[in-house]
Amino acid sequence: MQFSTAPPDAILRGHRARYVGFMSDRHTPPTVPDTSDQEVTAVVARLRRTFDSGATLPVPARARHLAALRRLLTEGADELAAALADDLGRHTTESWLVEIGFTIGELDHVAKNLRRWTAPRGRRVPAALLPARASLVREPLGVVGVIAPWNYPVQLLLAPLVGALAAGNTVVLKPSEVAPATSGALARLAGRYLDPDVVGVVTGGVGPTTALLDQRLDHIFYTGGSTVARVVAEAAARTLTPVTLELGGRCPVWVDPRQDLEAVARRIAWAKFLNAGQTCVAPNHVFTTPDAAPRLATHLADAVRAMYGADPAASEDYGRIVNTSHHDRLTGVLDATVDAGARVEFGGGREREDRYLEPTILAGVRPDHPVMAEEIFGPILPIVEVSGLGEAIDLIRDGEHPLAAYAFTDDAADRARIVREVRAGGMSFGAPMLQVSVPDLPFGGVGGSGYGAYHGEESVRVFSHEKPVFSKPLKPDTLRMALPPYGRRARLMLRAMFRV
């Protein structure tokens, strides 16, 4: 996922402004004040005192904090949806689907299993050590920092918070300043619903983030791009603070030409153009064979029209690029790729002031084209022609490990080969992105797409230390046989124990 400190764009067109309830056809998004270095230090100190007091350890206390977070999401849903429309031009229904409802579902799943997931769990003791007992005790880490990106600014801030609270931590939240309306709404709602001694909020840009990284935290959970991730990891290394890095990835799609290409296109188009393509697990590019590529491109164009109409710019269901900086980046990559020999099969329209970029399908794309150099993170879908699955796998393996890999094939041998030969953070057959919606499936990257995972029980585990606890009674004293002086009896018993 991308993280940027570029200033937000200041202008929305009339139909977008009417949708989010503004009174004119030009709107300047709010700015979020920077939390001062002194305030950052005070927030972390306050949370440290709370954690050290033991107030967050009892399971009923954790359940209360989760219930308060649920009220924030349900009672504050309209405020959050309006802020998301302001920042990303996103329809309320889509915000419920991918942000508010998604996070409520994650929270309910964790709350339902809270007592079971936080209870000590027994472990088997070798016969040689009996009588004895062993268990793993999940204990909270302490003060946790969660740094979120702008593309899903509610979900990617509050879903990690669910796991951190369930594990018994105190948490300092850093929403993205690139989504200023949502950042401000989150700060207001947190102050209204959450205990400030348990959850603190730091707002602003590079300065407050740097000040937060200078604090003594017990875990840092960062979602964003690899450049900032290196800064986070370097800062954490100075204090040996563990980190979870949820990064991006050039998520590939393999399409078997024997598939129902019309059905395939509908699913790819939905996953790709949701949130105007600004999704870390969105399909980045499609591999298929030369005979299937033109048919797939036609069906993709039809799928876009079915979702957003003949003019996606007029559709309330289609979002906007977050700011003009990212809009310029995307149009620059698109134009450079066309100049290099690719062709636009559909879309390509843009309007900088409105931050609008039409859903765009590119054909004739080669692996060395500019659009294939890095994660696109926008509504541009290249179709790359390959000889078959083998060449597609080779091209995937030539780059960084993707955050997710997708395939449309019913061939059991091909599926097994993809699972075996493609290393990715996650994988899904027949339905891009839906793997993230399964609460019991961990979500995370591998290699360049990050490390560490969360969702469901993994969210509790990542914010806990699993402490081994061993207990052995003094009587009977079975350890005596292992104490010096060693004799023949001890040697024989050891050989028998290990069957040598």
**Active-site residues: which are they?**
246, 280
Task: For Cα atoms 281, 284, 288, give the angle at the middle one, nearest 5 degrees.
Answer: 125
Spell out the residues 6+ positions from residue 499 whose beta carbon is closer than 8 angstroms to its own.
none
Contact (CB, 8 A) for 362 and 342? yes
Q: Is 247 helix (H, G, I), strand (E, B) or coil?
A: coil
Q: How far apart are CA 167 and CA 497, in angstroms?
A: 40
Extended strands (E) in 114-169: 121-123, 133-140, 143-147
Q: How far apart are CA 104 and CA 486, in angstroms?
A: 62
Residue that the structure tokens 């009923």 belong to: 60
Q: Is 1 helix (H, G, I), strand (E, B) or coil?
A: coil
- What angle do the packed helices 59-75 and 180-193 form, to 10 degrees? 130
Contact (CB, 8 A) for 260 and 409? no
Element (H, E) at 361: strand 360-365
Q: Which among 314, 277, 51 has a CA at the least distance from the CA of 171?
A: 51
Contact (CB, 8 A) for 252 and 406? yes
